[in-house]
């Protein structure tokens, strides 16, 4: 039973790291993030969108696990998870699974995606300045100035809406 559980967890980790899974999540967030607002009030439509999200994620994970593991049963896997809840709580996979079913985490993802879409992501700017030239004791090499790089976050321009 432990080998089977480990096999499922390994397959689940692979599925969650796949580009297809990431793209699916990003597309969903991109499609629905504009509905969300960064207030404490939760609109009824949020529940509908969250239900669609959990259906999408659960359906995808279930389908991919059935493709990867012969005789996979989500019901049996959920029972295995419940039996190992304490040992699983410290794992990244468990955190990820819980996040798919947690509305507050979902709302944070939507708001972060909305901010990024509107140009509120973190932008970095690099400024360079000339510094003193250091000469090695060897005379057969070229002399290069040291670059003093300073990287600072800058506010990004707001997206212009017409």
Q: What is the pLDDT of residues 24-75, one digit of tens each?
A: 999 999 999 999 999 999 999 999 999 999 999 999 999 999 999 999 998 8
pTM for this prediction: 0.66
Angle at 35 between CA 29 and CA 39, to 5 degrees: 110
Task: Answer yes or no: are the C-beta atoms of 110 and 45 closer than 8 Å.
Answer: no
- Taking every pair of C-alpha atoms in the chain, what is the biggest distance, in angstroms? 74
Scanning the structure block, which residue is given the tokens 């990431």? 22
């Amino acid at each position: 039973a432990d080998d089977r559980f480990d096999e499922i967890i390994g397959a689940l980790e692979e599925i969650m790291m796949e580009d297809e899974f990431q793209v699916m999540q990003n597309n969903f967030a991109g499609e629905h993030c504009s509905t969300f607002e960064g207030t404490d009030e939760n609109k009824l439509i949020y529940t509908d969108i969250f239900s669609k999200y959990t259906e999408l994620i659960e359906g995808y994970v279930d389908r991919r696990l059935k493709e990867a593991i012969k005789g996979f049963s989500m019901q049996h896997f959920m029972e295995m998870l419940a039996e190992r809840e304490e040992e699983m709580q410290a794992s990244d996979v468990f955190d990820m699974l819980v996040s798919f079913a947690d509305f507050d985490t979902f709302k944070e993802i939507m708001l972060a995606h909305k901010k990024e879409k509107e140009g509120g992501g973190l932008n970095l700017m690099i400024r360079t300045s000339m510094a003193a030239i250091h000469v090695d004791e060897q005379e057969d090499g070229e002399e290069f100035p040291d670059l003093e790089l300073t990287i600072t976050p800058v506010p990004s321009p707001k997206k212009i809406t017409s």
